[in-house]
Structure 1
Amino acid sequence: MAFNPIPIRLKQARQLVGISQKELGIRIGMDESSASGRMNHYEKGRHTPDVETLRKLAAELNVPLNYFLCEDDLSAELACLIAQLDDEKKRALIADLKKPTS
């Protein structure tokens, strides 16, 4: 079975914001009676949210969508930092990263 980083990233981002599973579910439009259970299934890896649900979660948790797919903590942190840059700074970063090392 392949590694699924979504449950780990989802729980980390939710805890960083400091809200419950139920609260997060309600904030993205889930029914109050099922929000906690559905979010718990996502965080435990029993179910995987579809892309549209992941988009809503990312927006609510203030992380980029690709954050949920990062397999390691450094990549996840980079994804969040890069998402905060404006286009000019992103282009500069790309140019800098493409420079040959000597």
Structure 2
Amino acid sequence: MSAAPASVFGTRLKEARLEAGLSQKQLGIEAGLDPFVASTRINRYELGVHKVDYTFAIRLATVLRVPVAFLYADDTELASLILAFGRLSKRKRADLLMHARSLEAGS
């Protein structure tokens, strides 16, 4: 059973924020929010109280150095793959895609 999209986004956002070592306020400020509301806004995104528009999700992902798709992945293994893929060089991405396609063709 998958979690609701808002809670998936919030869970992934918190996971990435903690891995980056940022407070909610720091993340909000670095993503362009007013310092006065930054902490509360990020907290509400993480709790799923408010939804994030895609343009702002891109800004959050940029600050957190994760692919924006990671924030929306409702499967834990897929989220891990997206994160790993996003951290690879272009050459290694191409190698991985070629390998994945060969695995797919062999099944």
| TM-score greater than 0.5 by the shorter chain | yes
Is the deviation greater in 30-39 or in 84-93? 84-93
4+ residue runs over 4 A deviation: none
CA distance in structure 1 between the partners assigned to 2:49 and 2:20 by the alignment: 23
CA distance in structure 1 between the partners assigned to 2:83 and 2:42 by the alignment: 22
Task: Please point out which of 14, 30, 34 is paired with 1:31.
Answer: 34
Equivalent residue pairs, number? 101
- Flag the structure with higher helix content: 2
Which runs of structure 2 are paired with 1:57-68 in the superposition (5 Å)?
A: 57-68=60-71
Secondary structure (helix, strand or coil) at the match of 1:48 reads: coil
CA distance in structure 1 between the partners assigned to 2:14 and 2:88 by the alignment: 24
RMSD: 1.5
Structure 1: where are the runs of 5+ without partners? none
CA distance in structure 2 between the partners assigned to 1:58 and 1:25 by the alignment: 11
Asked if 1:8 corresponds to 2:11, the answer is yes
Which runs of structure 2 are paired with 1:1-102 in the superposition (5 Å)?
A: 3-4=4-5, 5-99=8-102, 100-101=105-106
Aligned-pair CA distance for 1:58: 0.5
Aligned-pair CA distance for 1:64: 0.4
Aligned-pair CA distance for 1:69: 0.9
CA distance in structure 2 between the partners assigned to 1:96 and 1:9 by the alignment: 27
Aligned-pair CA distance for 1:88: 3.1
Structure 2: where are the runs of 5+ without partners? none
Percentage identity across paired residues of the two chains = 36
Give the TM-score, by structure 1 length: 0.89
